[in-house]
Amino acid sequence: DAKTTQPPSMDCAEGRAANLPCNHSTISGNEYVYWYRQIHSQGPQYIIHGLKNNETNEMASLIITEDRKSSTLILPHATLRDTAVYYCIVSLVTQGGSEKLVFGKGTKLTVNP
């Protein structure tokens, strides 16, 4: 089962910031938070990841709470092309050392003109 909880859908006006929340209350100390998005009929695309510090790249910013039990993905100026399903994932490591990526249901973000 996925270790994250996200709202099923959100709307955002074009040009405004989109703030997508994620709860991961059972995250362990060495697990990272990843964000991916999936545009219809395509494979998921990596956006950003972080451990405990806030992160920023050319696509988005990731804000992780101090207790690491939740995070927020911020798209600073949403465009129509940002309409997609956004997945928040906590990385899992099995006994074999692999990273087992378990996706939840994600948040369907709709950017409106």
Partner 1 sequence: SQTIHQWPATLVQPVGSPLSLECTVEGTSNPNLYWYRQAAGRGLQLLFYSVGIGQISSEVPQNLSASRPQDRQFILSSKKLLLSDSGFYLCAWTGLRNTEAFFGQGTRLTVV
Quick check: 46 binds partner 1 (CB under 8 A)?
yes
Stretch that binds partner 1, among 17-25, 58-66, 76-84, 89-97 (CB under 8 A): 89-97
Quick check: 39 binds partner 1 (CB under 8 A)?
no
DSSP 3-state assignment of 99? strand
Separation CA 35–CA 103 (nearest Å): 10
Stretch that binds partner 1, among 18-26, 62-70, 73-81, 101-109 (CB under 8 A): 101-109
The tokens describing 4, both together, are 């994250």
CB of 3 to partner 1, least distance (A): 13
Quick check: 103 binds partner 1 (CB under 8 A)?
yes
The tokens describing 76, both together, are 């600073």
- β-strand partners of 37: 45, 86
Separation CA 37–CA 86 (nearest Å): 4
From the list 82, 80, 102, the residue with the least C-alpha distance to 91 is: 102
DSSP 69-94: SEEEEEETT--GGG-EEEEEEE-EE-
CB of 20 to partner 1, least distance (A): 15
Quick check: 10 binds partner 1 (CB under 8 A)?
no
Quick check: 57 binds partner 1 (CB under 8 A)?
no
Task: Tell me the site size for partner 1, rule CB under 8 A.
Answer: 26
Binding site for partner 1 (CB under 8 A): 32, 34, 36, 38, 41-46, 49, 87, 91, 93-94, 96-106
